[in-house]
Structure 1
Amino acid sequence: MDAHPFEILQQTAAETENTAKKEFAVFEPIINEPLARSPIVYLVRHAESTAKILDSTTRRYTYFVDTVDQKLSIRGDRQCEGVRLYLSQDPSLKLTHLLCSPMSRTLRTSIGIFGSNINEGTKVIAMAELQTFDRGANGTGLSVNDLKARYGDQVSFSLLPEDWNEADQKSVSLNGRYSSAKRNIEKVKEMMERIRSESFPEQVHIGVVTHSSCLRHWVAAEGWETLEIDPYLCDRDDKGHALQGTESKIVRPIPVGMTPKEAAKAR
């Protein structure tokens, strides 16, 4: 599935119809404990990176995939600001936790969109299970020490093993630790359950910032017992509502090149 750089996938447990109608409420995993408050989880694909640049005139992408751990492009930074501004208009959206791929493009997306949440105490946890399945240079992340040096003041890397960024760990033939999407999802589910249990009885809102190669498996509902999926793009209709999109229907992207003040007036 070719995901828009800022497609937010809204998922809800099938039996929580009211939540399904709520903008940006993503899904509620099924928990067997009757009194437990299931977490609400927001799935976000990273912004445009320097590995894949869109020409705004031809609408074609140019690929630069031979560099390790590429960062966000200028447009990607603007996309983060656009989404941050859009979501800031909803005071009910307050993340308590962020789970993030350890790649720079996802880390910078997390900080770019949810920086105010992070500054207010939202915990950011890097998980190798959320990294891209790409085994090339563009799918290779930095060492744990380098990540701590660059992002350690905002992100916890305590769960990352030293070999998390080795290509063989994503090899199916070698049964690499991160080669199975279903196994990766199970690990993320375990972390969500741990967060839910430690926070009970408070409601937790968990952001998950990852890659399209991961999200397509979430869209396929791998590892989830009951899951209803509705994709949303961070754009608006004439009434300011989020636009719903499908694989067969492309909706307008976030305006690029506008300052926050201009974007606010446009809304």
Structure 2
Amino acid sequence: MAPVIHLVRHAQGYHNLNHENQWIRDPDLTELGEEQCKELCKNFPYHDKITHLFASPIRRTIFTCQFSFAPAVKGGKKIVALQDTQEVSLYPCDVGSDVEPLKKEFGDLVDFTLLTDDWNKKTPDSKYYPDSQKLEARARDARLWLRDFLKDVSDDAHIILVTHGGILHFITEDWSGVNPGRGTGWVNTEYRSYEFADKTGQDPNASLAELPESLNRRRGSEIPLTDAEKREMRSAYESVLSGELKICLDRIAEQQLMASSSADGV
């Protein structure tokens, strides 16, 4: 066996309730979101095999990891925050909190040592700006980091990475099921299981391959997409990203104009 990587989308946050809530900065989980975590915790079959916990540094993913994989957390495993797995958009809900407030809130539960002080800055010159080429590059960086990390992990290990619906499409290079209405084909607390496609560790892209049991769990007898259909899904997803980016930039510009006008009037 090779180590198994379970990729998990976070539970429902307040930003998932309506479009306006996407302007809430780094929001909490809803009560339903916490219940979703409890349900995942109850149904996840590999708690006793988990060796490492990783999460995007955004609060809802950390909480999802903490609640959904409570046996591992209570057993002393820290959640390691990986900044390359943060969500894609410029909406405030997808812009994480600064490092020091995160450390104060989560204490010893989470290891933030891999975070840089500017991890949550999404300016156009940043690797975290929501440009499709940059998203593809940092998703590859995340896979390469995980592959390098797993060199020293036992073959029967099970790794958890809790992250977001948008970046998950880039990490998995799978755009199937993309829903323009919610921007992702992943539902809250859905998990899918993977290993690295190239067992030699030489693939420069470090692509992942979804395990058959994971595919069966979510697709059943559904016929897989053709390569052409996959390209169409990616194109549709990138159109969604482009539209969301324009909305964000327009509103940010409007807010800046209003702030400037207010200051001039004082």
Aligned to 1:78: 35
Q: CA deviation at 1:96?
A: 0.8
Q: Which amino acid aligns with 2:23?
A: D
Aligned to 1:141: 96
- Determine if the alignment matches structure 1 residue 190 to structure 2 residue 144: yes
TM-score w.r.t. the length of structure 1 is: 0.62
Partners of 1:62 and 1:196 lie apart in 2 by: 38
Greater share of strand: 1
Partners of 1:247 and 1:76 lie apart in 2 by: 31
- Determine if the alignment matches structure 1 residue 67 to structure 2 residue 24: yes
User: What do residues 151-204 of structure 1 show as CA deviations (whole Å, max 9, x unaligned)?
Assistant: 131110001100111121xx3xx3x223422322233223323432333x4532
User: What do residues 118-159 of structure 1 show as CA deviations (whole Å, max 9, x unaligned)?
Assistant: 221334210111111111211111110011111131110001
Partners of 1:247 and 1:52 lie apart in 2 by: 30
Partners of 1:67 and 1:230 lie apart in 2 by: 38
Partners of 1:231 and 1:68 lie apart in 2 by: 37
Q: How many residues of Structure 1 are paired with residues of Structure 2 in the alignment?
A: 190
Residue of structure 2 aligned with 1:177, choices 119, 127, 141? 127
Does the CA contact (< 8 Å) of 1:136 and 1:167 recur in 2?
no
Residue of structure 1 aligned with 2:168, choices 207, 215, 218? 215
Aligned to 2:51: 96
Q: Which amino acid aligns with 1:190?
A: L
Does the CA contact (< 8 Å) of 1:48 and 1:75 recur in 2?
yes
Q: Which amino acid aligns with 2:146?
A: M
Q: Go from structure 1 to structure 2 and tell me whether the alpha carbon gap of 1:96 and 1:127 turns closer, same or farther (over 3 Å shift).
A: same
Aligned to 1:227: 209
User: In the TM superposition, what are the counterparts of 1:28-39 in structure 2 within 5 Å?
Assistant: 38-39=2-3
Identical columns (%) = 25
Greater share of helix: 2
TM-score w.r.t. the length of structure 2 is: 0.63
The structure with more radius of gyration:
2
Q: Which amino acid aligns with 2:209?
A: L
User: What do residues 89-126 of structure 1 show as CA deviations (whole Å, max 9, x unaligned)?
Assistant: x3565211122100111010000101211221334210
1:51 match: secondary structure: helix
Partners of 1:141 and 1:108 lie apart in 2 by: 13
List runs of 5+ in structure 1 lacking aligned partners.
1-36, 54-60, 234-240, 249-267
1:64 match: secondary structure: helix
Q: Which amino acid aligns with 2:33?
A: G
1:70 match: secondary structure: coil
Partners of 2:41 and 2:30 lie apart in 1 by: 17
Q: Go from structure 1 to structure 2 and tell me whether the alpha carbon gap of 1:229 and 1:204 turns closer, same or farther (over 3 Å shift).
A: closer
Q: Go from structure 1 to structure 2 and tell me whether the alpha carbon gap of 1:243 and 1:212 turns closer, same or farther (over 3 Å shift).
A: closer
Aligned to 1:52: 16
Does the CA contact (< 8 Å) of 2:15 and 2:27 recur in 1?
yes
Q: Which amino acid aligns with 1:82?
A: E
Q: Go from structure 1 to structure 2 and tell me whether the alpha carbon gap of 1:48 and 1:91 turns closer, same or farther (over 3 Å shift).
A: closer
Partners of 1:153 and 1:247 lie apart in 2 by: 45
